[in-house]
Amino acid sequence: MLLLDIQHIHKSFQDTFALQDVSLQMESGKIYGLLGPNGAGKTTLIRNITQIFFPDSGTILFKGEKLSEKHQNQIGYMPEERGLYKKMKVGEQLEYFAQLRNFSKQEARRKIDYWLQKMDIESWRHKTVEELSKGMQQKVQFVATVLHDPSLLILDEPFSGLDPLNAEIIKNEIFELHAKGTNIIFSTHRMENVEEICEDIFLINKGRIILEGNVQAIKQQYKKHLIRIELSRPVEWNDALEKDIQLVSNEPHQLIVKLKEPQSTNDLLRLLLQHQVEIAGVAEILPTIHEIFIQSVQEHLPVNTTAS
């Protein structure tokens, strides 16, 4: 069963279209990336899922049911701009959020104890939020988001403002939750995190989905058939080589070549060996999501790749 099935939703604000005919399907048990430049419609899409907004038209199904208020407790959302009551103590604040999620007081306390210990922030319980550093506040915010064991966790730029150490802690928590079966949507405009964390991505621009699918499959689709050859010894480039191999760059320690249709990597290696090139290593150069992102945004054309 699909976790989330969004069908043809439109959302406009006054004279601007925030979302135009957006359809997407998300399966259970995956980490999805929602990518797009600022103002692309990521937040609007998320707000439709969290039911802050309702689409002008189209439907959203959550686990096969029409998305409604009763699903709110199954969704946890951490917005990009952090929101906590500055003058409230960490413990009281978390308790308040838990109460709004219909937890009993004891249950809320138990959950809070668990998470504060897990995140190693037990000692902050009686501090007010304004006494904490920005990174510390982020941790508290994360706890507030996952406190009610949501089956869908939506994180909007969860690493912004975090130092590498704390980012690593949050990242590990995300993986751990995922391993326990939590579905995760990860919204960002910073591509380097995506490849590391997400299995599937949706690329959104100007209110439309312009690219979707498995990260590896998309990379394969967008690859430029470039091979990096690491060399034990610099190569003297000559006409014979030129005839067989299309060179992109030639440096003392590595060559970058583009495969000619219908050359395979094996064909290339055979040719290089014939020419007595001493090879130390071989790797295919795949485009980064960042490059694909920029390319697709510039193309402006919707491209579909089925997830493999």
Partner 1 sequence: MKKIGYILLREYLTRVRKKSFLLLTLLLPVLIGLFMVAMIVIATQAQEELRIAVKDESGLFEDKFRGLDQGEKLRFEYLTNNPQPLDTILQHYESAGYDGVLYIPAIDLDRPLGFTYYASSEIGLVTEERIEKAISEEIRKRVLERENYNTDIIDKLDKNIDITKVINNEKQDGSAELAAGFGYACGLLIYLFLIVYGAMVMKSVTEEKTNRIVEVLVTTVKPYELMIGKILGIGAVGLTQFVLWGALTMAVQTFIGILLGDQLAAVQTMQAGNGMADASKSTQIIADISTAFQALDLPRILFSFVFYFIFGYIFYASQFAAIGAAMTDDSDAQSFTFPITIPIIISMVLMSVTLEQPFSAAAYWGSMLPFSSPIIMITRIPFQVPWWEQIVSMLILLVSALAMVYVAAKIYRVGILVQGKKITFKEITKWIFYK
- Residue range at the interface with partner 1 (CB under 8 A); choices 68-76, 114-122, 273-281, 286-294: 68-76
Q: Which residues from 21-60 bind partner 1, rule CB under 8 A? A: 47, 50-52, 54, 56
N-terminal to C-terminal alpha carbon distance within the chain: 17
* Residue 11 touching partner 1 (CB under 8 A): no
In our burial notation (b when 16+ CB lie closer than 10 A, e otherwise), range 103-118 reads beeeebeebbeebbee
Among 68, 50, 66, 70, smallest CA distance to 5 is for 66
CB of 94 to partner 1, least distance (A): 12
User: Which range touches partner 1 (CB under 8 A), out of 25-33, 80-88, 157-165, 217-225?
Assistant: 80-88
Q: Least Å distance between CB 76 and partner 1?
A: 8
Residue 257: helix, strand or coil by DSSP? strand
Residue of 15, 16, 81, 123 interacting with partner 1 (CB under 8 A)? 81
Which of residues 29, 68, 87, 163 is near partner 1 by CB under 8 A? 87
In the complex with partner 1, which residue's Cβ is closer, 34 or 211?
34
Examine residue 262 and say whether the peptide bond preceding it is cis (omega within 30 degrees of 0): yes
206: how many CB neighbours lie within 10 A of its CB?
Answer: 16
Number of residues that bind partner 1 (CB under 8 A): 30
Helix ranges (H only) for 54-104 are: 90-100
Centroid of chain to Cα 223: 20
Please tell me whether residue 17 binds partner 1 under the rule CB under 8 A. no
Contact footprint for partner 1 (CB under 8 A): 14, 47, 50-52, 54, 56, 72-73, 75, 77-79, 81-88, 96-97, 99-102, 141, 144-145
